[in-house]
């Protein structure tokens, strides 16, 4: 990221442009250009193509981004997904190990990041918690997105952070189940069939009705735009909805867990 950022700075200076001038041409904030040049913010593929055009760099930046090491691609894909998430009109989210980020309390998120291996510094933990909580603002939009969540019962039973954090997370989950536009379903333990054994994923619809998907694993993440691949995940999600408890049954299970946490 630092190398790519340094290339942006060199090409910008060669073109005799200030950061503000380049930002204006790209319809960005000056701080965005500054963050990219300092290696604090990843250069995403679409912006790399735009800057190549503005700076007349013959795909140099696009090629650099396409060939970044996997460890640097992870935050780039994640940030690109979060750009889509902020504007989404619909989300379908399946999780089997941890509560979805949009449904986590601050204390639960902190407990999640404290389990990272290798361990994160306290500053890194607090930065990630703040970013996760900020993302939840989309639930309070004037016109919120339509969101379906399917979560494994195991995530409801796990006590990340201890008893108090667990109870707070359950109460927050129960409150979120009443928000307009949200359908929360729990996949109970002991099912004989399960369409999501390959792991968690998210389906998203953009304001211009583009359908994309996003998936993470232990060492990476992937933004999926191929219609065939998105269709396969949509079929999986549809099957999961038939296998999980319906929203009313889910509320009942959460009430039961809160009565005996």
CA distance 72 to 79: 12
User: What is the token pair recorded at 71?
Assistant: 């460890």
DSSP assignment, residue 67? T
Q: What is the pLDDT of residues 186-214, one digit of tens each?
A: 999 999 999 999 999 999 999 989 999 99
pTM: predicted TM-score of the whole model, two decimal places: 0.73
Write down the H helix ranges in 121-210.
122-135, 153-157, 163-176
Q: Does domain 81-259 have CATH number 3.30.1380?
A: no
pLDDT band at residue 217 under the 50/70/90 scheme = confident
Pairing state of beta strands 201-205 and 90-95? Answer: antiparallel
All structural domains of the chain with their residue ranges: 2-68, 81-259
Considering the domain 2-68 in this protein, what is its CATH number?
1.10.260.40
pLDDT band at residue 71 under the 50/70/90 scheme = low
């Amino acid at each position: 990221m630092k190398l790519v950022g340094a290339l942006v700075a060199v090409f910008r200076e060669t073109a005799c442009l200030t950061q503000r001038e380049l930002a204006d041409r790209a319809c960005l904030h000056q701080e965005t250009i500054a963050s990219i040049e300092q290696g604090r913010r990843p250069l995403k593929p679409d912006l790399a193509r735009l800057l190549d055009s503005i700076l007349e760099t013959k795909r140099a930046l696009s090629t650099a981004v396409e060939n970044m090491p996997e460890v640097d691609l992870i935050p780039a894909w994640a940030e690109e997904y979060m750009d889509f998430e902020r504007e989404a009109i619909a989300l379908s989210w399946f999780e089997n190990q941890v509560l979805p980020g949009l449904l986590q309390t601050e204390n639960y998120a902190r407990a999640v990041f404290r389990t990272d291996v290798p361990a994160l510094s306290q500053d890194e933990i607090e930065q990630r918690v703040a970013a996760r909580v900020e993302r939840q603002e989309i639930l309070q939009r004037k016109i919120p997105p339509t969101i379906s969540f399917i979560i494994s019962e195991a995530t409801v039973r796990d006590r990340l952070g201890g008893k108090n954090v667990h109870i707070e997370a359950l109460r927050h989950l129960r409150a979120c189940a009443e928000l307009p536009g949200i359908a929360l379903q729990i996949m109970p333990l002991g099912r004989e069939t399960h369409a999501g054994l390959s792991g968690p994923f998210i389906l998203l619809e953009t304001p211009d009705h583009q359908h994309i998907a996003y998936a993470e694993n232990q060492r990476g993440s992937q933004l999926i735009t191929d219609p065939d691949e998105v269709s396969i995940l949509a079929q999986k999600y549809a099957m999961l909805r038939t296998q999980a408890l319906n929203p009313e049954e889910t509320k009942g299970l959460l009430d039961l867990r809160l009565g005996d946490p």
